[in-house]
Structure 1
Amino acid sequence: MTGLPDYTSLKTKQRALRDGFHENLSLRVHRALSWLDRAEQCGDDNDARFIFLWIAFNAAYAEDLGEATPNAARSLFRDYFGKLVPLDTEKRIYNALWHRFSGPIRLLLDNKFVYHRFWNHQNQLFGYDDWEQKFAAARQQAQQALAQQNTLAVLTTLFDRLYVLRNQLMHGGATWNSTVNRSQVRDGAAILTFLIPLFIDLMMNHPALPWGRAHYPVIL
C-alpha cells in the first residue's frame, strides 16, 4: 500500500486478507479499525480524536497483564515497537518521525508537562525530587537518538510522553477543548493520526507473526 492508509483503504485490505489471519490478529485489527473509523469522524475535536486513536492503538498492541503497573504497560508497547519497526521496510514510520513530524516531536520531548517524573514530583511522591536532572538527561538522550536517526528509540520515547498525555485525558486530568496546553493535544492527535494506520497496515502485512492474545477476547 502506497501513501497514507486510512480507515476505508485498511478496511478493504482487511476484508481481503482476514481469512488468513490468526484469531488474535483478526480481533486486534477489527477492533483497531473500528476506533480508527470513529477517530476520523472527529473533525477539529483534537481531544476526542486523540482518545479514539489511543484506543485503536491499545487494541492493536496491548495484551492482558492482569493488574499491570504503568511501567509494565510502557514496557509492553516498547516491545511492540521492537517488533514493528523492523517490518517497516518502506521506511514510512522513519519518514514520519524524521521529516513530517520532526518539529512537533521535538516540542513534545522538550515539554515537561508530558513527562511522568514531573507529575510524580508535583504529586509529592517520594523519590522524584531530581526530576529536573532526569528530564534534562532524557532530553539529551532523545536528541542523540534523533541525531542518530534511531527510529525505535525515538518512537519509544515519544509514546512514553504521549502515554502521559493519554493519562491526563482519560483520567479527567484535563478540560475538554481547554485553551491550556493545547499544543501537545493538537500535535499528539496529528502524530497518532499518521502513525496508527501505519501500525495496523504493517500488522496486516505480517499475519504470521505472534501478535499476542488480545484484551477481553470475544466469549459467546
Structure 2
Amino acid sequence: MNTFSALKQRHRDERDNYPSALALRTHRALSWLKKAEECSDDDSKFTFLWIAFNSAYAQDFEQKNNYGERGLYQEFLAKLVELDSEKLLDKIVWENFSGAIRVILGNEFILESYWSYQSGRITEEQWKEVRSKAKVTANVALGQNDTALVLSIVFSRLYTLRNQIIHGGATYGSSANRQQLKDCTSLLEQIIPTIIMIMMDNSQELWGDPVYPFIDS
C-alpha cells in the first residue's frame, strides 16, 4: 500500500519535472493524505481523505455548474482507470475490497434518493423505483467487471456520506453509521494514494489547473 511518506519522497524527487498544475495538485492532495493518516477516528479520516480527493480532481466552478460535480469526478475516475497501467484500481475493486464494495452499493442509507424520500421531496414509489434502478446499474457494472463504472457508482455513495458529514447531517462518533463509515473510509485509504500515484505516473497528461492557484505573496 502506498503511504504518504513514500509518495511524498517521490514527489520531492520528481516535482521539478511536473507541470506546475500537477505539482500543486499532488502537493495539496498529499498534505491532506498525511493529515488523514494521523487521525485515529473514521469521521476525521474520511473527511480529510475526501479533501485529498478534491485536491487531486477539483475543476473550475463554471464547469461544475455546467456539468455537475459528480459528472466531473466520474470523468476523472474513468481517466484514471484508463491510465492505470499496473491495474491497481482493478485490484482494489475486484480483490482487496470486493466484499466491502458490494456492501456499500447495497446500503440504502448512502443512496441520495433515500434521503430525498425521507425529507418528502419524492414519494415512496419514486424512491423504490430509484433504488431498483440503482441496484440494476450496480449489478450490471459488477457483472461486467467494469472498474470505472463501479468506482463511479461507489463514489456517488461516498458523496452522499460526505454530504451527511460536511453539512452536519451526522453526529461525530455516532453509532448509527459506524459500519458504513468504516467501510467507506477503508476503501478511500486505498484509493486516494493510488490516485495520486497514477497522476504522478502520467505527468504528461493534462490534469487541469487548480481552482485556487498558489499565490506567492
In the superposition, the TM-score normalised over structure 1's length comes to 0.93
Q: Which letter maps to 1:34?
A: S
Q: Which letter maps to 1:216?
A: Y
Aligned pairs for 1:153-192 (under 5 A) are 153-192=149-188
Q: Does 1:64 align with 2:60?
A: yes
Q: Which letter maps to 1:103?
A: G
SS in 1 for 2:13: helix
Q: Does 1:104 align with 2:100?
A: yes
Aligned pairs for 1:24-173 (under 5 A) are 24-43=21-40, 45-66=41-62, 68=64, 72-125=68-121, 129-173=125-169
SS in 2 for 1:130: helix
The separation in 2 between residues aligned to 1:91 and 1:57, in whole angstroms, is 19
1:121–1:129 contact (8 Å) kept in structure 2: no
Q: Which letter maps to 1:47?
A: D
1:120–1:128 contact (8 Å) kept in structure 2: no
The separation in 2 between residues aligned to 1:70 and 1:172, in whole angstroms, is 27
Q: Which letter maps to 2:90?
A: Y
How far off its partner does 1:64 sit? 2.1
Deviations, residues 132-189 of structure 1 (Å, cap 9, x unaligned): 1111121122112112110011000000000000000111100111110211110010
2:21–2:209 contact (8 Å) kept in structure 1: yes
Q: Does 1:214 align with 2:210?
A: yes
How far off its partner does 1:89 sit? 1.5
Per mean C-alpha deviation after superposition, the further-off stretch among 22-31 and 129-138 is 129-138
Deviations, residues 53-84 of structure 1 (Å, cap 9, x unaligned): 00000000011214946970100101101211
**Gaps spanning 5+ residues in structure 2: where?**
none
The separation in 2 between residues aligned to 1:108 and 1:70, in whole angstroms, is 29
2:64–2:72 contact (8 Å) kept in structure 1: no
In the superposition, the TM-score normalised over structure 2's length comes to 0.95
Q: Does 1:9 align with 2:10?
A: no
1:61–1:77 contact (8 Å) kept in structure 2: yes
How far off its partner does 1:219 sit? 2.0
SS in 1 for 2:21: helix
The separation in 2 between residues aligned to 1:126 and 1:50, in whole angstroms, is 29
State the 4+ residue runs in structure 1 displaced beyond 3 angstroms. 66-71, 126-129
The separation in 2 between residues aligned to 1:117 and 1:68, in whole angstroms, is 21
Percent of aligned pairs sharing the same letter? 42
Which of the two has greater helix per residue?
A: 2
1:20 corresponds, among 6, 17, 21, to 17
**Compared CA separation, residues 198 and 67, structure 1 to 2 (3 A):** closer
